[in-house]
A = this chain, B = another copy of it.
């Protein structure tokens, strides 16, 4: 169709945005229900509903009328305000991508992903990679093909990386990971030769009811607005924002692992604060919510590690911890708690890794994904390569695929190229920390009093309020200048040299 005025076209864009938002909200509610409240045998009916609604939203994006609308708006780009222009840009990207994927491939991929999740879960529990391999093969093939649709100019894996962190390339990552390894590997060797930290008291029995009180307290310290941010329990912790003013985080309680719920709550709380911090002008538009996975992880890991695992923070929450768990904390002072939550130890499971070795887990996945996509690694060889890399990077033996290449749900969910954003997020965070110190001086003195307001206000001003308005590279550079992994390696070196008296 043609538009009679710019006003009319902008109104059509607004309607499209709001309609997409409504479906996002509804499908988020379905997913959140599935993970937190749904009775266990209800997947079939929910799958049916999701299949139909996914088809509807595909049609809403791929609708050829959107091509006319976009062409009209782009032809009048100079007359648009910045926010609308960016909306058009984001809309264009999604429209072109979906438009290039043939509808039958899109549907086939969604059916595959739906089946693969189920098969992966069973394969993981049976520690049987063979069961999952045919699905992973198809997922890799689809992703290689989709990469060509996303951006035929790019190398396929670069096109996939770009989906999760706009502008990120293998060239950047190869250099970044090399720098990281050059710091982490020798530092880890020194730590392993030093006197070990005792964290055994964190694995005593911590009643779930008391842990829930700790969660409430930690959310309060973090300044999470409970009128807009809910907490629930699920198998794996996550953050899901229905909209800027309605965010849900989840956690999982393990009686013998009190820090799991503690740090997953702080981590997801970081995602939630980012999502909730967007300016109102972006509400119900395609600029609502965080801009990329890398920036999102920079915020979640900022709160989790740079704040939550700082000495100041541990001193702030120590009295409450002691009050809730007097028996378990018998004879443990704040410094001992600080060292325990920072214990370094190469381990099998990424989500339980310490701050130092975490990036090594990511590097293993990066190497494997890169080679799966460029065809130099066959899916059937993934377990052997995984185990070899864990030995090489972390120095440990993988006993089985359940604790190895089947541990994460990302691949079964179709997310190839996602993992690197975790490591890049940590590095973004360290560089932000440096900048924050320049601006605010000794804000850790406030943190030590349990006051995170300066931290959150700074992040809000610099990052959160922009939602998805700025591209991630621009957003980062406007705050921190050029990205440099040195901030992260320096931070790790200083922290762990001091902590382990190296």
Contact = CB atoms under 8 A, between A and B. Distances in A.
Interface centre among A23, A25, A283 (most CB of B within 10 A): A25
A330 to B, nearest CB: 28
Contacts of A242: 42, 45-46, 49
B284 A39 contact: no
Given A25-B45, A245-B44, A19 B227 contact: no
Contact of A48 (B21, B45, B49): B21
Interface stretch (A29-37, A123-131, A340-348): A29-37
A80 interface: no
A284 B246 CA distance: 30
A26 interface: yes
A237 interface: no
Contacts of A246: 38-39, 42, 45-46
Interface stretch (A228-236, A258-266, A356-364): A228-236
Given A41-B227, A245-B42, A49 B36 contact: no
B45 A245 contact: yes
Interface string A14-30: 00001101110111011
B26 A30 contact: yes
A495 interface: no
A49 B21 contact: yes
Given A18-B48, A46-B242, A245-B45, A27 B26 contact: yes
A118 B35 CA distance: 30
A21 to B, nearest CB: 7
Interface centre among A32, A52, A232 (most CB of B within 10 A): A52
Nearest to A242: B45
B227 A48 contact: no
Contacts of A228: 39, 41-42
A159 to B, nearest CB: 32
A67 B78 CA distance: 46
A228 to B, nearest CB: 5
Report, as a range, how many residues of chain A touch the other chain. Answer: 35 or more
Given A25-B30, A26-B49, A48-B22, A40 B227 contact: yes
A9 to B, nearest CB: 20
Nearest to A45: B243
A230 B25 contact: no
A25 B30 CA distance: 8
Contacts of A40: 227
Interface centre among A26, A51, A56 (most CB of B within 10 A): A26
Given A21-B48, A22-B48, A246-B42, A37 B227 contact: no
A450 to B, nearest CB: 23
A213 interface: no
A232 B26 contact: no
B52 A230 contact: no
A380 interface: no
A243 to B, nearest CB: 4
A25 B283 CA distance: 25
A38 B245 contact: no
A25 B46 contact: yes
A53 interface: yes
A52 B226 contact: no
Contacts of A39: 226-230, 246
A150 to B, nearest CB: 28
A244 B39 CA distance: 13
26 contacts: A18-B52, A22-B51, A22-B53, A25-B46, A25-B48, A25-B49, A26-B26, A26-B53, A29-B30, A29-B33, A36-B37, A37-B232, A37-B248, A39-B228, A39-B229, A39-B246, A40-B227, A41-B228, A41-B245, A42-B228, A45-B243, A45-B283, A46-B246, A48-B243, A48-B284, A49-B242
Given A25-B49, A38-B246, 15 more contacts: A21-B49, A22-B48, A22-B50, A22-B53, A23-B53, A26-B53, A32-B33, A36-B37, A39-B230, A39-B246, A41-B227, A45-B246, A45-B283, A48-B284, A49-B243
Interface of A: 18-19, 21-23, 25-27, 29-30, 32-33, 36-42, 44-46, 48-53, 56, 225-230, 232, 242-246, 248, 283-284
